[in-house]
Structure 1
Amino acid sequence: MKSALCLCLLLLGLQVQGQHRSNLNDEQQEQKIPHSPEDHSQAEDENLAHVKIAPSNTDFAFRFYKQVREEAGNKNIFFSPLSISTAFAMLSLGARSNTLRQLHKGLAFNLTEIEEQEIHEGFQRVLQLLNDPHREVQLSMGNALFIDDRMKLLQKFLDDVTNFYYSEAISSNFQNSSEAIKEINNYIDTKTHGKIVPLLKKLSSDTKMILVNYIFFKGYWEKPFKNLDTRDDDFFLDAKNSVKVKMMHQKDIFNIHRDEKLSCWVVEIPYKGNAAALFVLPDEGMMKQVEDALLKETVFNWMQSLEERNIYLDLPKFSMSGSYDVKGLFQKMGVTEAFSNQADFSGVVEKIPLSVSKAIHRAMVDVSENGTEAAAVTMIELTLLSAGFPPPPHIRFNRPFLMMIVDKTSHGILFMGKIVNPAAKED
């Protein structure tokens, strides 16, 4: 069974603002992402490119989370901030004037601290690191542009999206909308291993380009939970209501931290392959306080404060998905011009006014005991007899908690969410 299976997708539709005539698009070839070896033989500056964008990406993740929280109410939340920021950073290559400035601000990039070129070099490096086939974790991320075959992109934009973001550029017959929809959904189905149901339902007659970003993650716990230890237990939705869940149990050594100021436990559960899940359990009634404190400095302090402790850990199995109207959320974050008649995407194509008509994000996660198909191991562990030491803390994730999946190689938050009800199947 899977220990964690996470997929998400962002789909952006660019539509024309007025009538136009355009030329045939050149045929484009798929770009392969070169994997990034871990020997660090490349120039130090190149290796640090992903580090330079990490603080902004983390800021964006928490800003976006807080915007989603306002709309989600008492529902589960799960999304990939990296998927969203990558897609809009790629789109920004074709943005100009105030449209570009708003996108940078919305993505938490300050051009007095980082140059525009460095932003794209950072995402280029992240893509290389995430798509390294030699990693133990199964992880892939990529981009595609589906382009109306009557439209010709500017060569500079095309070169940049392929060089920095390894995007495929696929010429499509948008006049035959049903075939174009089928082609795009088939691409999504393939890249997410059949886990994301058809996302694109219809295609406007004004649509000229569909931008797709996908990320697929399948991880295996370094210390799997034993199936035989999983049993039915109560998960408390609030002080009065509970639901039955399959609760996994484990007694082992984990990196943990007790944040007394915010009244929460932080537990890091590592995956094989230099990735980890960070589970945050606020004390009863303290979820809002912890959410309000979600900043890059807070998480940095948590990570720096983790200590190895022997603990009893209870964690529910859960599977959930989420769909988000990124356009509406971005507009509330102050990114408005890209979606309006004032949009300036003159760097994408000449003399054709484009704006973003829709931005949809879908993500799903599946957490269970382990990822081992068939294996056997015998281990004899000797532990020091306790003599006056306090008993191991029992950390029970039996009430709403937060989750982040962090890739330690690229210094990025791949996914984050809030599990309010592990038994809920809402989308």
Structure 2
Amino acid sequence: MRIYYDARVSGLDFDNTAQAKQAMNDWVKEATRGKIPSIIDQIEPSHILFLINTVYFNGEWSSRFDKSQTTDAPFYLANGTSVQVKMMQQKEEFQYYQGEDYSALRLPYGDQSFAMTLILPEGSGDANGLVNDLGNGLWEQLVEPVTVSEVNVYLPRFKVESTYNLIPALRSVGMERAFYDVKGFRNMADDDIIISDVRHKTFIEVDERGTEAAAATSIGFEVTSMPMVHEFRVDRPFVFVISEKETGAILFTGKIENPV
């Protein structure tokens, strides 16, 4: 673990469940700068091992939103109702893409090594379809060079805190044996063991300054210009992706149905 993953291996007394749980949760809290205070709820007598991974991201927009320009505005939900949100806005040159049934905008962070890509369905389009399309070629299309245009951007502040059980997702992509084959980990432990729980926690907050994001799991562009000013108004469910520029690697992705 240390050699291949630069991971810390710690021996804990699982008979002292309170102390062991506190030690693991303290590590997660420190690694995520307090954004995820805990991930282990309890330690069962059958538990012998926890694999815990964290990701922390704190990025300031290359072009910040002016707080004085933030106003109350409606955000239209999928069920036809609306909620009031704090809508940030700015006019700047951004990488912008217009597809047949969606539009996309890339908001860079800092020195532009990282960016948030916002993907917005056209009209009353379904954001769920965009989530599925990300794994079916849409993301590869979006990381290709796109046009730089002047854009009026309207983006709500939002914060996401979520917890997921990843076992169903892992099983759906073919990872089955790890959850029932007691001989599958013989190179790791002498005892018969299986994976009993895979839990993922995420925290993401977006405001005028930028984005702070954390996750814990237990277990370029051609520059051209156009005279037209586009409007990118995020006032309905949308998809976001935080990625690294050179590789296109995705750090975080999500769908926002209600920002408040």
Gap change, CA 1:303 and 1:333, over 3 Å in 2: closer
Gap change, CA 1:170 and 1:239, over 3 Å in 2: closer
Gap change, CA 1:289 and 1:182, over 3 Å in 2: closer
1:417 matched to 2:254? The reply is yes
Once the two structures are superposed, residues 79-135 of structure 1 have per-residue CA deviations (whole angstroms, 9 ceiling, x without a partner) of xxxxxxxxxxxxxxxxxxxxxxxxxxxxxxxxxxxxxxxxxxxxxxxxxxxxxxxxx
What are the equivalent positions in structure 2 for 1:99-248 lying under 5 Å apart? 161-238=1-78, 240-248=80-88
Between the two proteins, the alignment pairs up a number of residues equal to 243
Task: Tell me if the contact between 2:95 and 2:106 (Cα under 8 Å) persists in the aligned partners.
Answer: yes
In the alignment, what sits opposite 1:362?
201
Task: Tell me if the contact between 2:149 and 2:228 (Cα under 8 Å) persists in the aligned partners.
Answer: no
Q: 2:104 is matched with which residue: 254, 258, 266?
A: 266
Higher strand share: 2
Distance 2:60 2:78 in 1: 31
In the alignment, what sits opposite 1:275?
114
- Give 2:92's aligned amino acid: D
The alpha-carbon deviation at position 335 of structure 1 amounts to: 1.7
- Give 1:272's aligned amino acid: G
Q: CA RMSD in A?
A: 1.7
Gap change, CA 1:290 and 1:298, over 3 Å in 2: same
Task: Tell me if the contact between 1:337 and 1:343 (Cα under 8 Å) persists in the aligned partners.
Answer: no
The alpha-carbon deviation at position 243 of structure 1 amounts to: 0.3
Task: Tell me if the contact between 2:116 and 2:240 (Cα under 8 Å) persists in the aligned partners.
Answer: yes
The alpha-carbon deviation at position 289 of structure 1 amounts to: 3.8
Q: TM-score, normalised by structure 2?
A: 0.88
Once the two structures are superposed, residues 26-50 of structure 1 have per-residue CA deviations (whole angstroms, 9 ceiling, x without a partner) of xxxxxxxxxxxxxxxxxxxxxxxxx
Gap change, CA 1:182 and 1:239, over 3 Å in 2: closer
In the alignment, what sits opposite 1:407?
244
Distance 1:322 1:347 in 2: 34
Q: Which sections of structure 2, spanning at least 5 residues, go unmatched?
A: 211-225
- Identity of paired residues, percent? 26
Q: 1:397 is matched with which residue: 226, 234, 238?
A: 234
1:317 matched to 2:157? The reply is yes
Distance 2:94 2:43 in 1: 49
The alpha-carbon deviation at position 292 of structure 1 amounts to: 3.4
Higher relative contact order (CA 8 A, sep 6+): 1
The alpha-carbon deviation at position 169 of structure 1 amounts to: 0.6
Q: TM-score, normalised by structure 1?
A: 0.55
Once the two structures are superposed, residues 154-184 of structure 1 have per-residue CA deviations (whole angstroms, 9 ceiling, x without a partner) of xxxxxxx211210101011111111111111
* 3-state SS, counterpart of residue 201 of structure 1: coil
Distance 2:49 2:246 in 1: 32
Q: Which sections of structure 1, spanning at least 5 residues, go unmatched?
A: 1-160, 372-388
Q: Which has the larger radius of gyration?
A: 1
In the alignment, what sits opposite 1:332?
172
Higher helix share: 1
Task: Tell me if the contact between 1:251 and 1:312 (Cα under 8 Å) persists in the aligned partners.
Answer: yes
